[in-house]
Structure 1
Amino acid sequence: MTDLVMRTLDANSAHLFHTMPDPLALAEKHRRTTFRPEWQRIALRDGRTVARAAWWGRAEDTEPLLINWLDVAEGEEAAGAELLRTAPWRPDELDLDLPGGWRDDAGLRAAAETRAAAARLAGYAPLVERFLYRWTPDRGLPERPGRLVFTPEPDDAVFLDLLRRIHSVTLDAHARRAIAQGGVEQAAQEELDIFHWMPSPRSWWQIARTRAGDPVGIHIPARNPSGPCVGFIGVVPEHRGHGYAYDLLAECTHFLAAEGAEFIAAATDRSNFPMAAHFTKAGYPVVRERVNFWADGAVSAG
């Protein structure tokens, strides 16, 4: 087998990134994503592109935040791993996005396994599988149960306290990873940092309370760099078991629709069966799936 040639692209060579087949429809998935050519790399063998990867960050970031496009030709897992290992950036996170129902299609399953093998060889371990959702106005607005009162709250300390309570008992794999590393305080702070990271207004954040005034949870209508999204839904442990997460999701959907959202993206862990059921009830179809990988040294939970 001939030697590999690794190439980091630039504005003049960016077109070379698209010289591979796209069985996982990643070009469609990332049609709203802006990639910097200089954060894209390809691996060539005999002049043929056998692996490609794109690192992503916001316009103001000086280093990429994650890898969210990885393609590897069949039998070239080692080339894909080398492409990642020799890059000048080493973000903790790698996302492998897949078409919905990929396990039921032999070709898609093989393509996914090839890319996952390359990620593992490069030192990334799977953390969690997630469902990716997309609500559109033709789905209709979910009914508001009317059980809760929603209000904004300007004090971050109030949100941080509720996040501590929410993450004290959680099914979320990312929160569990943070708890394993630094306790509930780290998980809550990381969540709050993500809320601030999003470019949507701080005034959108809302707390849900019972009509008697008891805090039930929070919902974060948001925009990420690709558009409107459900930033967070969380219910404190003492109020679980009543389906309140659906109330929060319905309110979040109504809020973003009133802001003119033409779509709303959302996600939850595949293993979070209650939340997945709420998304289905609220009219959010699964449009993609994701396997989230973390660098081996960063993975310490479920």
Structure 2
Amino acid sequence: MRFRSALDDPAALDRALAWPAEGPVPPLPADRVREEFAARRMRPEWTWFAEDADGRMAARALWWGRADSERPVALDCLQVSPSVADPAALAAALLAAGHAAFGKRPGHHLSLPRGWREDPAVTGAVAWRREAASRAGLTRGIERLRYEWTPAAGTAAPTGRLVFREGTDEEFLDAFARLSRGSLDLATRHGLEATTEERLAREDLAFYRDCPGERSWWRLAHLPDGTLAGMAVPSATPYHRNVGYLGVVPEQRGKGLIDEILAEITRFHAAEGADRITATTDTVNLPMAAAFDRAGYEVTEIRLVLEAPAAG
């Protein structure tokens, strides 16, 4: 079996894009893939496939990144031909080839329907992908709820319980660090296993500054007496407005203030004319999921993220 990127053969890209858009874990249709290539969020050097001895394509992997990314951010699509006897082994080898070329191991993001565990075809398709990812070093799994708000859900009026204001980067660094303490967010908890609060805060600030949203959108949340309560970081993806980051400092949790902060983000995006706001939270983060439910956000899919453990 031969593993290579579409960069090695211009004609190979068309063959890779011709893969049927079908399967228990739905792949991206060809027109969507072409849109991603046009926007440089997918690229020939990030498109890898396996060929058998006769030159037939047996597997493909499509990695995704931002338009200005030097290296891919995530594996968006992984497929193996139904004729392959051991799809996990072939997929693992394909991922290893891509990782070696990238010099990193981007996580594999699978978009799954709600209740996916009740469908044997889907669970089987997830199982071999999970096994392949694990063999390639992506041994940690996080299951997330993908939420969506539309104008039909409406927005909540301000209650006056919190005051929102702009802040300096240093103030936001302090807020990021404080919010990480006792967080139920798995990415945050995993990050703190490998680094300090301060370093993780700087990574979070850099990440959200690099997102398509504007830094000027960010707000610190205070009680009327000036006590810091949390922060709201409205953001965006290349496709939609996004909730981004929000949270309440440990000493103010359990008072319903997360609803106030989420409402502020929703109002902000709605006032800007957003017809859709997306958000995600871990399935184990029950308080955050409940806040989205109360705010009229609806779960549209399950996002399974398979990633490499953070390096200490």
TM (normalized to structure 2)? Answer: 0.86
Deviation digits for residues 223-282 of structure 1 (CA, Å, limit 9, x no counterpart): 122321011011000000012111111110110111121211110111000000111111
The CA deviation string for residues 57-101 of structure 1, in whole angstroms up to 9 with x for no partner, is 222222222323223456411110011111211334332222222
CA contact (8 A) 1:8 1:40 kept: yes
Residues 186-243 of structure 1: CA deviation (Å, up to 9, x unaligned):
2211211111111222110011111222111001111122321011011000000012
Structure 2 distance, partners of 1:175, 1:156, is 19
Residue 246 of structure 1 corresponds to: 259
Q: Find the residue that maps to 1:199 and give its secondary structure.
A: coil
CA distance in 2, matches of 1:72, 1:126: 22
Query: Measured at CA, do residues 109 and 143 of structure 1 come closer, stay the same or move farther in structure 2, by a change above 3 Å?
Result: farther
2:274 is equivalent to residue 261 of structure 1: yes
The 1:47/1:101 distance shift into structure 2, 3 A limit, reads: farther
Counterpart Cα distance in 2 of 1:96 and 1:208: 34
Aligned partners of 1:42 and 1:235: how far apart in 2? Answer: 45
Amino acid at match of 2:51: L
TM-score (norm 1): 0.89
The within-5 A match list for 1:177-216 is: 177-216=190-229
Q: In the alignment, is the contact (CA less than 8 A) between 2:246 and 2:262 conserved in 1? A: yes
Structure 2 vs 1, CA of residues 246 and 35 (structure 1 numbering), >3 Å: closer, same or farther? Answer: same
Alignment of 1:74-85 (within 5 A): 75-85=86-96
Alpha-carbon distance between aligned partners in 2 of 1:14 and 1:281, rounded to the nearest angstrom: 45
* Larger deviation, residues 64-73 vs 176-185: 64-73
Q: Distance in 1 between matches of 2:73 and 2:151?
A: 31
Say whether the 8 Å CA contact 1:178–1:186 is kept in structure 2. Answer: no
> For the residues of structure 2 that align with 1:56 and 1:180, how far apart are their CA atoms?
27
Distance 1:9 1:185 in 2: 40
Q: Which residue of 1 aligns with 2:294?
A: 281
- Residue 105 of structure 2 corresponds to 91
What is the rounded CA distance, in whole Å, between the counterparts of 2:291 and 2:170 in structure 1? 28
The question of 1:40 aligning with 2:47 is answered: yes
1:6 aligns with 2:3: yes
1:299–1:273 Cα change, 3 Å: farther
Distance 1:137 1:228 in 2: 13
Distance 2:144 2:220 in 1: 25
Q: Which moved more, 1:236-245 or 1:54-63?
A: 54-63
Q: 1:115 Cα shift?
A: 1.0
RMSD over aligned Cα atoms:
2.2
Structure 1, 55-64 or 101-110: larger mean CA deviation: 55-64
SS at match of 1:58: coil
Residue 78 of structure 2 is aligned to residue 64 of structure 1: no
Amino acid at match of 1:85: A
Matches within 5 A, 1:210-225: 210-225=223-238
Please name the residue that 2:14 is paired with.
15
Q: Who is 2:129 aligned against? A: 115
What amino acid does structure 1 have at the position aligned with 2:87?
E
Please, which moves more after superposition, 214-223 or 61-70? Answer: 61-70
The alignment of Structure 1 onto Structure 2 pairs a total of residues equal to: 294
Deviations 1:73-132 (A, max 9, x none): 564111100111112113343322222221121211111112111111112112421111
The alignment status of 1:161 with 2:174, answered yes or no, reads: yes
- Between the two proteins, what is the percent identity of the paired residues? 37
Name the aligned partner's letter for residue 8 of structure 1: S
User: Could you say if the C-alpha distance between residues 144 and 97 of structure 1 is closer, same or farther in structure 2, counting changes exceeding 3 Å?
Assistant: same
Change (3 A) 1:72 1:141: farther
SS at match of 1:212: coil
- Matched letter for residue 84 of structure 1: L
Q: Could you tell me how far apart the structure 1 residues matched to 2:147 and 2:55 are?
A: 38
